[in-house]
Amino acid sequence: MNEMELKYGCNPNQKPSRIYMEDGSDLPVTVLNGKPGYINFLDAFNGWQLVKELKLATGLPAATSFKHVSPAGAAVGLPLDETLAKIYWVDDLGELSPLACAYARARGADRMSSFGDFIALSDVCDADTARLIKREVSDGVIAPGYTEDALEILKAKKKGGYNVIQIDENYVPAELEKKQVYGITFEQGRNELDINGDLLSNIVTNNKEIPEAALIDMKIALITLKYTQSNSVCFVKGGQAIGIGAGQQSRVHCTRLAGMKADNWYLRQAPQVLGLQFLDTVGRADRDNAIDNYIGEEYMDVLAEGAWQKVFKVKPEVFTREEKRAWLDGMQDVTLGSDAFFPFSDNIERARKSGVKYIAQPGGSVRDDLVIECANKYNMAMAFTGIRLFHH
């Protein structure tokens, strides 16, 4: 089959809609369940490319959580410690497979943005991963295959309507890609850039020590950025994106947005948050919202209105600004990637507040010297890749 009709395009008024192979060959995907839409397929195809490249670059199973054609999270399958398992709401599932760990990390980095995500998996979906997916609010998943148990679990999701797509992992797209805007056709060569160690060898700071774990995190950051709507900045730690700032017109706003998300990820691990006692009737999504409110400045209003009684068993103490800053000062060895050069050193100053120690960016700004000087001030190690990674 070389064509698939879709319900509608980006919006219900945009009809007709379809995906098809212009050369007449068969589509490289099979819908095993549900009826994916236009945006679902955009997320699926971008997400698949991301996890396929992460697997090739690291040798580890990879997963991503996509929303509106940008990743909310991306990760490789490293084991979860007790704290991460708790903040990702998977501590009741026992020991998870590496692929399930990858998705737990990808989903857990920014749980609010991942609500209603489309998932991409680098490996055959196993039962552990399917069980994790089933309990989350999600639109669908794409993977190179599914075990019988996993497929049975996923087909039962959303009253049988959950979107399950299988992609041919051996599919190779044409070297040229096209898109139309306003009836005008654009054509370009595919971005086949290989994100590898050679790309990270030009270290321009006084500190030239980048440990192997940070090099892996740099690859994760750059591959994630390769499939994130530009401008974009990505913070990574321990094999997973912890903050992605996408689609901003200003580079520093990307850094601030990504840094804020990274801060929230780390604040969720603070004793004040881990000690919150939720009512048994409060689900995971509502717990996520409550935690974000608790971390945020507006929590004083929630306390004043007595709204805490709808969520918590016990009235939580205020998590003060000073306590939050003290906790965030413990976040260290974070890696930052940028899809284009930093035009000003304000990006480095903001990154420092979120524990950034390692940076990968193209370089090429007329103010590179000031950016390098600022990185040297904080003993950061920064690599210039010489390659921009815009994605539109």
Q: Could you tell me the fold of the domain covering 3-167? A: Cytidine Deaminase; domain 2 (3.40.140)
301 pLDDT higher than 70: no
Q: What is d(CA 146, CA 68) in angstroms, rounded to the nearest whole number?
A: 25
In the sheet that holds 163-167, the strands lie side by side as 29-33, 163-167, 138-143, 117-121, 62-67, 70-76, 240-246, 232-237, 334-338, 356-361, 381-384
Q: Work out the percent of the chain whose per-residue pLDDT is above 70.
A: 97
219 is catalytic: no
67 is catalytic: yes
| The predicted structure's pLDDT at residue 391 | 95
Catalytic residue among 68, 134, 155, 353: 68
| The predicted structure's pLDDT at residue 1 | 83
Catalytic residue among 33, 163, 231, 347: 231
Q: What is d(CA 382, CA 367) in angstroms, rounded to the nearest whole number?
A: 15
Render pLDDT for 119-176 as a digit per residue (tens, 0 to 9).
Answer: 999 999 999 999 999 999 999 999 999 999 999 999 999 999 999 999 999 999 999 9
3-state secondary structure of 223: helix
- What average pLDDT score do residues 200-204 get? 96
Q: What is d(CA 368, CA 9) in angstroms, rounded to the nearest whole number?
A: 43
305 pLDDT higher than 70: no
Distance, CA of 49 to chain centre: 13
| The predicted structure's pLDDT at residue 160 | 96
Q: How many helices (H) and strands (E) does the chain have?
A: 14, 15
3-state secondary structure of 216: helix
Beta bridge partner(s), residue 3: 20
Q: For residue 307, what pLDDT band results from cuts at 50, 70 and 90?
A: confident
367 pLDDT higher than 90: yes
Render pLDDT for 6-36 as a digit per residue (tens, 0 to 9).
Answer: 999 999 999 999 999 999 999 999 999 999 9
302 pLDDT higher than 90: no
Give which of 108, 100, 140, 96 is closest to 124, Cα–Cα.
100
Render pLDDT for 379-389 as a digit per residue (tens, 0 to 9).
Answer: 999 999 999 99
**Beta strand 240-246 pairing with 232-237:** antiparallel
253 is catalytic: no
Render pLDDT for 68-112 as a digit per residue (tens, 0 to 9).
Answer: 999 999 999 999 999 999 999 999 999 999 999 999 999 999 999
293 pLDDT higher than 90: no
Ordered DSSP codes for 263-288: HHHHHTTSHHHHT--B-TT--HHHHH
Q: What is d(CA 365, CA 338) in angstroms, rounded to the nearest whole number?
A: 13
3-state secondary structure of 218: helix
Q: For residue 300, what pLDDT band results from cuts at 50, 70 and 90?
A: low
**Beta strand 29-33 pairing with 163-167:** antiparallel
Catalytic residue among 33, 46, 52, 67: 67
Q: Which CATH architecture has domain 194-267+328-384?
A: 3-Layer(aba) Sandwich (3.40)
Give domain limits for the chain. Answer: 3-167, 194-267+328-384, 278-318
Render pLDDT for 315-365 as a digit per residue (tens, 0 to 9).
Answer: 888 899 999 999 999 999 999 999 999 999 999 999 999 999 999 999 999
| The predicted structure's pLDDT at residue 298 | 64
Q: What is d(CA 122, CA 99) in angstroms, rounded to the nearest whole number?
A: 8
299 pLDDT higher than 80: no
Q: What is the pTM of this model?
A: 0.95
- Asked if domains 3-167 and 194-267+328-384 share a fold, the reply is yes
- What average pLDDT score do residues 281-302 get? 83
Q: What is d(CA 51, CA 43) in angstroms, rounded to the nearest whole number?
A: 12
